Amino acid sequence: MSPSATRQRLLAAARAELVERGHAAISLRAVARRAGLSHAAPKHHFHDRAGLLTAIATDGFAALTVQLRRVRGSSPEEHLARLGRSYIDFGLASPALFDLMFRPSELHPADPALQAAQAGALGVLGAAVSHLAPADPMSRDVPALALISWALVHGLVTLSRNGALRPAVGSGADDADDAELARRLGDLFSAYLAQALTREPPPPAP
Amino acid sequence: MSPSATRQRLLAAARAELVERGHAAISLRAVARRAGLSHAAPKHHFHDRAGLLTAIATDGFAALTVQLRRVRGSSPEEHLARLGRSYIDFGLASPALFDLMFRPSELHPADPALQAAQAGALGVLGAAVSHLAPADPMSRDVPALALISWALVHGLVTLSRNGALRPAVGSGADDADDAELARRLGDLFSAYLAQALTREPPPPAP
DNA sequence: CCAGCCACTTGACAGTGTCAAGGAGTGGCG
DNA sequence: CGCCACTCCTTGACACTGTCAAGTGGCTGG
């Protein structure tokens, strides 16, 4: 709870280990060593290994939320499209953190702080979609559309980092192409979504 | 390569450990014990821990492919919708396996057998989408739509198992409601997609 | 018959998460 | 002032893990 200095030091060390050692092969003893503490120091602040990871994931959701809140768009459609792009960028910029955030088996999924942070991120998407089509006859499906949009961008991040999109992009593709394809697919989806909601002719393809 | 008996026994034990111990906290020594072999037996057949997991993931993609190939639909739209539902069901029926299949950090992502199995599953979705709108002026975006559809159902599975959809479904929700919501969102998406492609009035909401 | 190979075991090593117990410092209270 | 309780952290230990090196058994082909 109280952000004691050593607790913060442990968290910083854990984040560093996370980004450089990659994925969740993160070791309590290694972060303690990096923080200059004894090997059981983490146990005191975060009861478990899962407890430490939960704290990091919670911070991750908070960071995602503020990043999404910063997004602006001249129209509701553009706003949603930029939100999706921002979400994709977040996932691709810090893959290890993003991975961890959606790995409930290694976290304490019932942790209230974690759930609150998670709900905060969804709230941004929900608000954006509800602004998109407030008077549309299908507006009762609007939360559903928020979830669909979320699932879409989330899936794009996952597949992109798996290289699963690569066969579609060509033989000489690299990671950057993969990421760019993910962004373009997100844009394309929001174009389709806007078209379906306004029932106007589709926008020119990118 | 050759499906020697003990190799099969190890794989079976590993799958059993995977479903009951959950996620990838699967231990080489535990599967060897369960298979009645010595603790280093897995090393001989699958060089690494990642090697074992890669073999299981490859089998998983193969199983997903045959399940998707079995799907039929009276119309291309219905076919795609049922494919999505089948994909979601697969992910929710065996969450640990599904998790593993999309965790390249714990696999050997460059393994040719794994990549082939992965491409096979995508091929089924790609074929379904290309049948959906062959003469549509936007048909050059059809592979993009296959990827979008894949990303959507994939994200739905991930979010559903995370309980991330739960806030939208109500306070008294449980896992079954979550799964049902994921399926309904998949159906809704395919309805939107069909509408966007045919530019006809939207179908009645479920 | 026997050399070679394949499939597997045995033994060892460093590293891990978790627990119990203990110590060092600090603040409060008689 | 003296003492106590408390929080924070360390130390030591345990069982367990993945990985490697070396060894063993049995089957096979020459």
The three state secondary structure string of B10-52 is HHHHHHHHHHHHCCCCCCHHHHHHHCCCCCCHHHHHCCCHHHH
On whether both B24 and B83 belong to a single domain, the answer is: no
Q: Could you tell me which of A34, A28, A35, A27 has the C-alpha nearest to residue A6? A: A35
pLDDT tens for B120-161 read 998 898 888 877 765 554 445 567 888 899 999 999 999 998
CB contact under 8 A, A148 and B106: no
pLDDT tens for A145-195 read 888 999 999 999 999 988 777 766 555 667 778 889 999 999 988 888 777
Angstrom CA distances, B129 to A48, A203, B203, stand at 46, 21, 19
Instruction: Please check whether residue A206 lies inside any domain of the structure.
Output: no
On whether both A1 and A88 belong to a single domain, the answer is: no
On whether both B36 and B56 belong to a single domain, the answer is: no
Long-range Cβ contacts of B33-39 (<8 Å, 24+ apart): B35/B6, B35/B9, B35/B10, B36/B9, B37/B6, B37/B9, B37/B10
Tokens found for residue A7: 């607790």
On whether both A104 and A175 belong to a single domain, the answer is: yes
* Residue numbers of A between 36 and 55 with CB closer than 8 Å to B: none
What CATH number should be reported for the domain holding residue A82?
A: 1.10.357.10
| B55 close to B131: Cβ distance less than 8 angstroms | no
With 90 as the cut, is the pLDDT of residue A112 above it? yes
| B125 close to B68: Cβ distance less than 8 angstroms | yes
On whether both B41 and B94 belong to a single domain, the answer is: no
Instruction: Please check whether residue B59 lies inside any domain of the structure.
Output: yes
Domain of residue B19, residue span: 1-45
- Stronger pLDDT, A131 or B105, i.e. the higher one: B105
On whether both B107 and B191 belong to a single domain, the answer is: yes
Domain count, chain A: 2
CA A174 → C1' D17, Å?
Answer: 35
Which of B28, B45, B62 marks a domain boundary? B45
Place of tokens 């990838």: B24
Instruction: Please check whether residue A205 lies inside any domain of the structure.
Output: no
On whether both B125 and B40 belong to a single domain, the answer is: no
Partners of residue B23 in chain A, C-beta under 8 Å: 105-106
What CATH number should be reported for the domain holding residue B5?
A: 1.10.10
With 90 as the cut, is the pLDDT of residue A90 above it? yes
* Residue numbers of A between 162 and 181 with CB closer than 8 Å to B: 162-165, 167-168, 181
Instruction: Please check whether residue A145 lies inside any domain of the structure.
Output: yes
On whether both B75 and B137 belong to a single domain, the answer is: yes
Q: How far is B89 from B86, CA to CA, in rounded Å?
A: 5
Start-end of H helices in chain A: 5-21, 28-34, 41-45, 49-69, 76-93, 95-101, 112-132, 142-162, 166-169, 175-198
On whether both B37 and B64 belong to a single domain, the answer is: no
Instruction: Please check whether residue A203 lies inside any domain of the structure.
Output: no
On whether both B53 and B41 belong to a single domain, the answer is: no
On whether both B6 and B93 belong to a single domain, the answer is: no
Instruction: Please check whether residue B203 lies inside any domain of the structure.
Output: no
Residue A147 sits at the vertex; the CA angle it makes with A141 and A153, to the nearest 5 degrees, is: 135
CB contact under 8 A, A205 and B163: no
B139 contact to strand D (CB, 7 A limit): no
On whether both A19 and A57 belong to a single domain, the answer is: no
Angstrom CA distances, A197 to A138, A139, A150, stand at 8, 9, 17
Instruction: Please check whether residue B206 lies inside any domain of the structure.
Output: no
Most confident by average pLDDT, A142-146, B25-29, B170-174? B25-29
Instruction: Please check whether residue A79 lies inside any domain of the structure.
Output: yes
A105 contact to strand D (CB, 7 A limit): no
pTM of the model: 0.89
Q: Closest nt to B41 (CA→C1')? A: C8
Q: How far is A134 from B14, CA to CA, in rounded Å?
A: 51
Q: What's chain A's average pLDDT?
A: 86
Q: How far is A39 from A35, CA to CA, in rounded Å?
A: 10
Tokens found for residue A36: 């200059």
